Structure 1
């Protein structure tokens, strides 16, 4: 009998299988409105200076600093420059121009006096004709003037390559007039869940399947399809196909070939154990599948294959086993392909004693407590999907460990 693989050995197998996908190189050009969360494929350089023109940092008055050396001083207000003013203006020496924040600074002006430092007396018609502004504080040249290119020069890099675009990046790109950006193309992942017992509740109530009938005796609602889809998207990939099949050989094979044709990678759940009706194993073995046991709990049965040049990763069908398998073996590979940082794996202290099974590496559901320690949530069984929902970490217990005491350090995988 072949001994079980270690987690590290199986992780290396999957990495070798998926490695060609990690090189990436395929890109697409997206408008900014569709680019949030995507990763830049190349550095984006600006075609313009930022700011685009000299403009005012304050509501106030544009003046020559030489005209306000001796204060207080009264200057005639020779005009008004609102934001959005598109006609160049020249400041007459010995006068001031009222100006709004963001408006173009007139030629001849070298400083802005904030409105708070002034006292305006309007003309006879209560408008700016004949108005006089008294300035009570002198200003140095350049104060409250935003010079053209003071933020960024034309040709400078706006956003580096390999950056996941957030609101702040998109704002800078939009301010520079960039309409679209080259980003890494997302990996397409096909998802197949199997089992004659599966029904879906996604379009029905909590007790009914998609056809409006209750889940019958011996049937279960499909949790793996929606869980895998969410995990794929959280990891920076896109779901290309998502299908649930029965244990019928021909039905699964058709679904597999459809998924392979539309995907860069296919993930299946269920159908790979050693018993009868294991349709995934039966269909994949003619394609050279490796069906193995990994010394871990949950997630022991695992399989890998290549079908028509597309890697196929097969996880066990119990909901917790599926989620743990994805987290341990595939999550960071997808994130690397998308240009995202690896998910969190760190050390924490146990809040209470923990017992484990010697011989299998355990990935126990756990949660963080307010003091930073972690505690186990429920037992190790792979069907406890509600307990998984209460967890926010997996507690990684080595295969040779039977007991850990409160206060012991453990490795935890962030969910």
Structure 2
């Protein structure tokens, strides 16, 4: 068995970023930039008012009160075409361009309007309430770097930079194949020795949430010919993910069938719990990641290994396990040689901070505890017994629709 860290390193080293495609800005949310997004315009394009008020020369309002003659206005989308002279002011609104000759803004709350004049009651200094040209960005600036996962805020920035199109990394095509005579799809008739399978659908949801395109191949029976035929559906995929059939039982066929048909095996079995029977190799041009069949093991391995694979394919920088720390909420015994991932609830103590309390039972078939967990407590191999209050590493689950 190899360590989790070595397995993740070897998997990611064998994966290369995918090619790119151009998409409209409206289609770019959640995609990963394949090249720097460079501003095509300067924002703001000229000095602008940050407030409603009056554009003035700071020298004219150094001593107040003082009366100034209003000679025009500069609304947003319009401009005062003349040049401001001594003793003059221009009515201006937020976003209006600063007139030539003006260097400051007196906000409207600090003046009294007297016909075509304003009485300035409170002075200002040069540059006050003025947004200089290029305050946000200048044409040619890199606003968003290559490898960035685009958020709602990023879409707004790209739009402001006048970028109607963005070049993003192609979504990885990931084929998913569950195995086992005992598994049926949700809604199908359940035989006396069968259970409803969750791995295919949960893995497909995981792939989608991480930015990939899931190709759900269905459930293969424990039959070599049928398994080979269904695996053919992965042709053209960037990655084949299997669940079940990768252990050592006589009905665990995935490993053998793939090797019989040309898979080059990198490794098989990892010193982790849950998830020992993890396999990685290459079947033709398609990488293969074999997962355990137990549903919790499958999703824990997806979090630890599949997400970094997808991030590497998408060109995201430095994929990792995103560990954090918390205080342990209950005593734990010493660990054995396998790195342990314990489902836990996460609470926050005003004095102590985050507290992770493991569920009492950690059976890898118990999906409900995974669904209700907030994080995984990560216990390294041969970790000593830990008392409540000890600082431990955790792998937090994401919020929103990803949830893992």
Change in CA separation of 1:146 and 1:333 when aligned onto 2, cut-off 3 Å = same
2:181 aligned with 1:196:
yes
Change in CA separation of 1:349 and 1:252 when aligned onto 2, cut-off 3 Å = same
Unaligned runs of 5+ in 1: 123-130, 202-208
2:362 aligned with 1:384:
no
State the TM-score, normalizing by the size of structure 2.
0.83
* Residue equivalent to 1:97: 90
Unaligned runs of 5+ in 2: 398-404
> How many equivalent pairs are there?
387
* Residue equivalent to 2:402: none
RMSD of aligned Cα (Å): 3.0
Matched position secondary structure for 1:381:
coil
Shift of 1:376: 2.2
Contact 1:365–1:378 (8 Å) recurs in 2: no
Change in CA separation of 1:176 and 1:289 when aligned onto 2, cut-off 3 Å = closer
Contact 2:220–2:230 (8 Å) recurs in 1: no
State the TM-score, normalizing by the size of structure 1.
0.81
Alignment of 1:178-197 (within 5 A): 178-197=163-182
* Residue equivalent to 2:284: 308
* Residue equivalent to 1:19: 13
* Residue equivalent to 2:297: 321
CA displacement, residues 136-157 of structure 1 (integer Å, 9 cap, x when unaligned): 2333333322222233333233
* Residue equivalent to 1:352: 330
* Residue equivalent to 1:332: 308
Matched position secondary structure for 1:373:
strand
Change in CA separation of 1:101 and 1:229 when aligned onto 2, cut-off 3 Å = same
Task: Indicate the larger mover: 400-409 or 186-195.
Answer: 400-409
Shift of 1:284: 1.2
* Residue equivalent to 2:227: 252
Shift of 1:347: 4.6
2:319 aligned with 1:363:
no
* Residue equivalent to 2:2: 6
Shift of 1:58: 1.2
Q: How far, CA to CA, are the matches of 1:98 and 1:311 in structure 2? A: 66
Q: How far, CA to CA, are the matches of 1:177 and 1:228 in structure 2? A: 37
Q: How far, CA to CA, are the matches of 2:328 and 2:58 in structure 1? A: 67
Contact 1:297–1:380 (8 Å) recurs in 2: no
* Residue equivalent to 2:101: 108
Contact 1:245–1:251 (8 Å) recurs in 2: no
2:142 aligned with 1:157:
yes
Matched position secondary structure for 1:301:
coil
2:377 to 381, 388, 395: 395
